[in-house]
């Protein structure tokens, strides 16, 4: 069965600094990978996805992620963080049958002024 690990439970960065959130997955085939963001009291919003092709994918709000098969990773990055990026971020992988997402435990991002 597939699994997703987000090693960092909490991360604090200063506004304007760069950001990288880690995601490692376990999956037998070529994975379909997603990053979602959840603002306090809200549902999850899709930031970006990787299905195939270019391993660097661009998403909304200035985020990007890079798929590295050799490292089983799909890390999320942003060059300059804004205070509004404070939220919880979830990495997820789709199963073989295409009907079930498995989520990581999430990383809570705090942004210092």
Give the separation between CA 81 and CA 76, rounded to whole angstroms: 12
Give the separation between CA 81 and CA 7, rounded to whole angstroms: 20
Please say which residue, 92 or 109, places its beta carbon nearer to another protein.
92
Q: Which two tokens stand for residue 34?
A: 């997603």
Here's the x/- map for another protein, 88-107, by CB under 8 A: it reads as --x-x-x---xxxxxxxxx-
CB of 71 to another protein, least distance (A): 21
Contacts of 51 (CB under 8 A, 6+ apart): 32
CB 8 within 8 A of CB 25: no
Please say which residue, 107 or 111, places its beta carbon nearer to another protein.
107
Task: Specify the stretch interacting with another protein by CB under 8 A; choose among 20-28, 59-67, 71-79, 87-95.
Answer: 87-95
Is there binding between residue 42 and another protein (CB under 8 A)?
Answer: yes
Please say which residue, 49 or 77, places its beta carbon nearer to another protein.
49
* CA diameter of the chain: 44
* Helices of type H across 20-97: none
Is there binding between residue 4 and another protein (CB under 8 A)?
Answer: yes
Instruction: Give the footprint of another protein on this chain (CB under 8 A).
Output: 4, 6, 9, 32, 34, 36, 41-46, 49, 51, 90, 92, 94, 98-106
């Amino acid at each position: 069965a597939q699994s997703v690990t987000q090693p960092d439970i909490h991360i604090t960065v200063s506004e304007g600094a760069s950001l990288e959130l880690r995601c490692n997955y376990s999956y037998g085939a070529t994975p379909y990978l997603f990053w979602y963001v959840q603002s306090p009291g809200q549902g999850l919003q899709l930031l970006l996805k990787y299905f195939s092709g270019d391993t660097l994918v661009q998403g909304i709000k200035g985020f990007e992620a890079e798929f590295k098969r050799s490292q089983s990773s799909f890390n999320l990055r942003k060059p300059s963080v804004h205070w509004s990026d404070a939220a919880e971020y979830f990495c997820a992988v789709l199963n073989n049958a295409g009907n079930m997402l498995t989520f990581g435990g999430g990383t809570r991002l705090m942004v210092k002024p």
